[in-house]
Structure 1
């Protein structure tokens, strides 16, 4: 049997043959000018009126004509007298830009302009066009196309400093529009700017009605602003696609939180189950792209289908047809994600090239995909996902092979490819990435190298499980367990890699913001890429054949033992490098396995990380607790219950009827074992969704002074006072906040020490003053849950009256409201009260140890 060291050394030999084995050059530049022209035109259509876009397109074509005319002239002026002896003259650079490229660019620019004109014509008709032209108000029925994203802008009006400066932006597919008494159908996608928890909690596929306002006419797709919170509409019956995705998500829910989030994300781009802590760790290590389905997933699906057809004896055409059919089905499953569309069009063009007997050239295929997509949808040119996908693919095509060859001089081919591919993609994407986040993930490259072997495992196992789960009659549900378990293990390794490297000091290096940061990163990335290409050209250049003659005898050759010693030393070094890489992977695997099976800590209370909302668990007995509020997202609440080890909820408390405190109720419908529900609201009816989520569960409003003892927990209701029927016929948001159910909780630990909590809901200053008049000394506690997520309108009087040893704030990371407010933070600091925040610390367990409060991360 061959020794492993000999096998490893054999993989590193014959460096001089590597370039001979490499495929031919893929730099076909003929379609690049047309792709650049189409992309530039599509980008300008979003920001400029049509006449200025047409002028910019004409200017680009004129510059291209001038360049095509000047390049040959400059090349002839710089041409040498003749090539060196033994070499033929290489083709000049003008061959990469024939005159046909100028004609193709003109056609591409014209096609984008015509497509944009057609889109503008569709949106300028009917009630929608009238509202956009007049800047009026319109009522719409729409479907959420993309999840809300955070945006920031200077505050307008007399809003308090630091408040109302942020909101969310989302894409809506308009179905029906009403404007000034006229209504009609609409078939357009609009960008909507809004604020408020009702807008922030929308999910793709949700149907709503909303009142929107159109600002001054602007180029590009319609841009609207929300004038009121949206109202839900009954959703359509889930189609086949939704059923397939939901079946897979449910099947992975029991595989652990990391697998439940990453398996759907890395298989078909469903990222809703990824926890905030893991999402931040992946962002800090540059692994977020793994959960966005891209060209690698599409290529894997196409290749698997093609090889499956080949195993049955199919010919070339049948194999390509099977691959394209599988790719089309995969695109339908994932949805119209920009990177998926780019990869799918590239795959289709490459397959057509092979079917017609042509060689598929990567850069030409990428350029063709860009032209096709931007012509069909000009606004795609301005989407970050599309831009990053194109840049990453171009980086791999242009710089991947030179970087692989340069690294291959000292490391095995496999390791060279594993390092070169993510490095090339990141260098090309770096200027856009720092525009999105002004920081550089220092350990992004090693994180991607370590995760690269795991990605195809997760994807293949996920796809196998997906197919087995959807076999007729449910026969594959049991068979799907094996690939899903294997994929879950690989997903946990990816999560462990992200957490391990994100926890290393200096994982994120600050970078200048705005245009200076983009320019600086562009210069740095360009310098590195030029260095790599220059080194590759120098290495591949033939050695000179001319030299000087020296008289005398030739030097004696080195003995064979010398060369054997050098070869042995190289083998030892490379074996040591391989062992180090394997050791790192093994350590990450052990950490992931330990994290996945670590028992939950023995806690007295848990502050759940549910984003922009509240959810607190108060322990009553092992595996039992009281839940105060549910947060806005069912999946986030379910994850917290699972990690905390809670199997039975003796009591669920809904402090008031806002979505950031009741939106997680559907998670309780699946959790089961709920004893009773307490709620408070400024209206006459219970909070929305309570009856649907927990049918048959006793629910009532408690009254001030009521107490309940559950195990080691004693609850006392402090507010609100009973409300007369009809008193709040049309409560405002402030009325609802001030109607929050306020509780004093006393938890007695196993050592007999009691810790007191004050849970204040979203009380504002008026509600806080009323509480302090009636509750008296009962508000003096050890732990204070700061009201209204630390908003400024919660005031500071309740903080002074409580005089806590610890304050906690539950808020979403980079939330839309600026919570907690700097004024509240400053007051807590002046008062010497330490603060625990879910947006910074994630989910934490509060433990009483030797008369001290300890906060332990809940992993």
Structure 2
């Protein structure tokens, strides 16, 4: 009986095994990720970061610790675990040795010591990449997005007075140069530059920064491929001129990363909407171009070898078009991996290819370890080959059509993977980025393919290129409109701690989110948490955001290192704007939050970049009566920019002097200074204190009391106001020059404010506001608020005098 039972059990087991085998044969096999090389790539990245941030000794120490372990593992019995550890240790030794040598060579280079002393030098350099406008350096006399460019270069030879000749060995430099003379240079050209050496602030292998004076000298011819690329790029820019200005600037930016004609407002809106990646050459560009070639080959029934050859030629051609600089070459590697995952459908092979690419790129260029673009490329590509296929499969199993499933999974996976890096860089988390990328996805490929075709045909036929661009016009318009819509969504972005801490915090939350998704039972908990979050966020940030506060009379907008003050009238949606900050995005967002649509006058206290940089955004889409400036039209580039923007908007420019008054419902403006005609600066480069002292000083009488707006007036301008016995008393003071130490105690005593507003950028390198000024104000009983700490600050009228409210917080009276 026992033998019969055992035989029956054996038959049942055999039948069950057959059934399981049959079921597995009919089902799609589960693909297991090949993670063997991932620890090695992460270790190489970590070792490189240690060497760049801490010094050559840190990476050398890693090599010294890993070397004996590598030797021990060579003589251990072979096993999968031992082989994996041996691979990691061997790569750590190799990469650490390379990084140590490079960092030591960079730190010991003679130019680094000369830069610490601010020495003047003449350098022969090779241009390494396209000059890029200093869009984020709009402070003082330096224009935002114009005036100066940053030019990566490699040292060929250095001639420093009083020093021996310093031969160049390809050391990395950064040139800060005048845009009008240096922006036309192409990568690969050899030039001679003269200027002052200053220390490099980046944690990379850059030896020094040269603040260039004058034009490039002894300019060589560019390599033929760079000249060919510029011919094609120029043809694309010219052909794009048939479109409206914003789409015309977007097409070259989207196709080849050429943003020179792209409006600052579009750049700011794309940043808010989480679409900035579209404005740089990435693996997606190459995947689209090569994917189009493969699709055409499939329609023509060409064989796999021919298709692969043509796709490879398209890849090389696009790299030449977009310029074979490091970022483009990195994108080419990532694009090839993306094609491997999307076209071939073998993410098991794509992940090892990605890790090998990371290892090779870090070995070739150690600076990539600290490049945000490299991290974003790696994370986005990893999400494309790891998360997106699985999420697509999961959605398809629930009945979602394949096209919709991929359209949802790809942007969601890419955004989730890159969000920690974006948050660390910007201090914000976009909650509309996934939706925005989903909305623009259908338009990206047509613009890219038609733009590449227009660039390729422009040298042969301008007419054909223009017609191709016209075909790309509707999707380009759609991209601009979608970015603008997404940027205007109330509560579309959340403030987040910037820097490494904020990035690691969001990365931990992201990993936790992905872990929860793996467990069926925990998904319900996750869904409930998301619903609860929406219940909290929608009423507080969208339906009743709590901002602006009722009865606000003035708001100091948080625009970074610059000024932008909004003065309300008693008419809804109508306000005066005094200064516009260093860039278009922050001031535009502030005005949108306040609901300002009509502006009787925009007052520019003076023409420094951190006060006029957002003028284009203020004028765009709002009814502006006039732009008022002082009598000093300097710097010239700034005066020309104001004239150009106001002419394009059809807005007149008025000149204000001491004694001028503006009367509006609920608001009276009086110009107090400058009390003397400011002298013309001796030179264009003399753009600091003389122009600051020429700032318009305004007193605004509002329901909340008198508000003194001082621009950037410094010691001489303040002394002139005091010596002329100008009545400076006010309830609220906009502290001069972002709270710099160039403020007289007697000036503060003459104002006797109850509230002081300081407009400054978080972590600015100028030390604003000065602790001396803040202490002087607080010692006198003045409540000091700062935009770098408090964000937007509103002044509100109460029966007890002016109260203040910070964005998202209840109003409180001055102490």
- The TM-score with structure 1 as length reference comes to 0.60
Shift of 1:768: 0.9
**Could you tell me which of 227, 231, 236 is aligned with 2:213?**
231
Report the equivalent of 1:177: 158
Structure 1 residue matching 2:466: 3-state secondary structure: coil
**Could you tell me which of 441, 457, 463 is aligned with 1:455?**
441
List aligned pairs for 1:272-421, cutoff 5 A: 287-311=275-299, 314-334=302-322, 340-348=328-336, 361-406=349-394, 408-410=396-398, 412=400, 414=402, 416-421=405-410
Report the equivalent of 2:527: none
Find the aligned partners of 1:333 and 1:467 in 2 and give their Cα distance: 11
Q: 1:781 to 1:499 in 2, by over 3 A?
A: same
List aligned pairs for 1:462-541, cutoff 5 A: 463-465=449-451, 467-468=453-454, 471=458, 472-477=461-466, 480-500=469-489, 502-503=491-492, 507-508=494-495, 524-530=509-515, 532-533=517-518
Find the aligned partners of 1:377 and 1:780 in 2 and give their Cα distance: 59
C-alpha distance after superposition, 1:728-768 (max 9, x if no partner): 799987642564153669999xxxx9x99977442113421
Find the aligned partners of 1:186 and 1:222 in 2 and give their Cα distance: 13
Find the aligned partners of 1:261 and 1:808 in 2 and give their Cα distance: 38
Find the aligned partners of 1:804 and 1:50 in 2 and give their Cα distance: 53
**Could you tell me which of 680, 690, 709 is aligned with 1:736?**
690
Shift of 1:378: 2.0
List aligned pairs for 1:524-603, cutoff 5 A: 524-530=509-515, 532-533=517-518
1:266–1:459 contact (8 Å) kept in structure 2: no
Q: Name the stretch that deviates more: 340-349 or 658-667.
A: 658-667
Q: 1:721 to 1:337 in 2, by over 3 A?
A: same
Find the aligned partners of 2:394 and 2:648 in 1 and give their Cα distance: 55
Q: 1:489 to 1:527 in 2, by over 3 A?
A: closer
Shift of 1:797: 5.9
Find the aligned partners of 1:635 and 1:478 in 2 and give their Cα distance: 35
Find the aligned partners of 1:395 and 1:323 in 2 and give their Cα distance: 23
C-alpha distance after superposition, 1:391-427 (max 9, x if no partner): 3322442344444444555462555545544554455
List aligned pairs for 1:123-138, cutoff 5 A: 128=111, 131=114, 137-138=119-120
Shift of 1:452: 2.2
Structure 2 residue matching 1:306: 3-state secondary structure: helix
Computed over aligned residues only, the root mean square deviation of the Cα atoms, in angstroms, reads 6.6
Query: Is the aligned partner of 1:787 residue 2:732?
Result: no
Shift of 1:514: 5.2
Shift of 1:489: 1.8
C-alpha distance after superposition, 1:4-49 (max 9, x if no partner): xxxxxxxxxxxx9999786873734455465445434543442466
Q: 1:449 to 1:181 in 2, by over 3 A?
A: same
Query: Is the aligned partner of 1:772 residue 2:722?
Result: yes
Structure 2 residue matching 1:398: 3-state secondary structure: helix
Structure 1 residue matching 2:609: 3-state secondary structure: coil
Report the equivalent of 2:45: 39
C-alpha distance after superposition, 1:152-178 (max 9, x if no partner): xxxxxxxxxxxxxxxx99774255633
Report the equivalent of 1:719: 674
Query: Is the aligned partner of 1:632 residue 2:609?
Result: yes
Find the aligned partners of 1:743 and 1:716 in 2 and give their Cα distance: 6
**Could you tell me which of 7, 29, 33 is aligned with 1:27?**
33
Greater RCO, CA 8 A, separation 6+: 1
Report the equivalent of 2:568: none
Find the aligned partners of 1:23 and 1:248 in 2 and give their Cα distance: 50
Find the aligned partners of 2:27 and 2:327 in 1 and give their Cα distance: 30
Unaligned residue ranges in structure 1 (runs of 5+): 1-15, 74-92, 152-167, 540-583, 589-599, 679-701, 845-851
Q: 1:656 to 1:420 in 2, by over 3 A?
A: same
Shift of 1:370: 1.5
Q: Name the stretch that deviates more: 381-390 or 60-69.
A: 60-69
List aligned pairs for 1:126-205, cutoff 5 A: 128=111, 131=114, 137-139=119-121, 141=123, 172-174=152-154, 177-179=158-160, 180-183=162-165, 186=168, 188=170, 190=172
Q: 1:833 to 1:771 in 2, by over 3 A?
A: same
- Number of corresponding residues: 689
2:48–2:95 contact (8 Å) kept in structure 1: no
Structure 1 residue matching 2:712: 3-state secondary structure: coil
Shift of 1:386: 1.2
Unaligned residue ranges in structure 2 (runs of 5+): 1-21, 138-147, 222-226, 524-537, 543-570, 592-597, 795-801, 808-815
- The TM-score with structure 2 as length reference comes to 0.62
Shift of 1:320: 2.9
C-alpha distance after superposition, 1:560-599 (max 9, x if no partner): xxxxxxxxxxxxxxxxxxxxxxxx9xxx9xxxxxxxxxxx
C-alpha distance after superposition, 1:786-816 (max 9, x if no partner): 5324545345766776789999877667654
Q: 1:407 to 1:662 in 2, by over 3 A?
A: same
Find the aligned partners of 2:636 and 2:764 in 1 and give their Cα distance: 15
Shift of 1:841: 5.5
Q: 1:376 to 1:52 in 2, by over 3 A?
A: same
Find the aligned partners of 2:436 and 2:343 in 1 and give their Cα distance: 37
